[in-house]
């Protein structure tokens, strides 16, 4: 599933959560805060945020004292349900 940076930012802002995109193969991480701002650790500065999100296979969602780890499919489904309930367009599906 394709997860766009704009969608994950909007989701973080709407839900008031921080989302860390994690690529377990390379160890690269990207944090999207509750304001939708993206930050990358210094060691990964040469990468673009979109590259890390595209390669991420898990997402840590934390807010209001709760934290959970979601797979790419789980966060895409959660984002799609949230956007649908708000009347926004759903997360783009990957073409086969």
Domain ranges of the chain: 5-84
Q: How far apart are CA 73 and CA 63, in angstroms?
A: 20
Q: What is the pTM of this model?
A: 0.84
Render pLDDT for 58-87 as a digit per residue (tens, 0 to 9). Answer: 999 999 889 999 999 999 999 999 988 888
Render pLDDT for 26-44 as a digit per residue (tens, 0 to 9). Answer: 999 999 999 999 999 998 8
Task: Locate 27 and state its tokens.
Answer: 């160890």
pLDDT score at 91: 53
Do the beta carbons of residue 7 and residue 91 sit within 8 Å? yes
Task: Locate 86 and state its tokens.
Answer: 């708000």
Partner residues linked to 30 by β-bridges: 21
């Amino acid at each position: 599933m394709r997860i766009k940076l704009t969608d994950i930012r909007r989701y973080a802002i709407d839900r008031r959560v921080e989302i860390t995109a994690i690529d377990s193969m390379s160890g690269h991480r990207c944090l999207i805060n509750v304001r939708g701002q993206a930050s990358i650790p210094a060691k990964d500065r040469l990468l673009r945020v979109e590259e890390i999100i595209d390669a991420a296979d898990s997402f840590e969602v934390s807010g209001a004292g709760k934290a959970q780890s979601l797979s790419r499919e789980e966060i895409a489904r959660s984002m799609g349900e949230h956007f649908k309930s708000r009347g926004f367009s759903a997360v783009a599906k990957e073409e086969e």
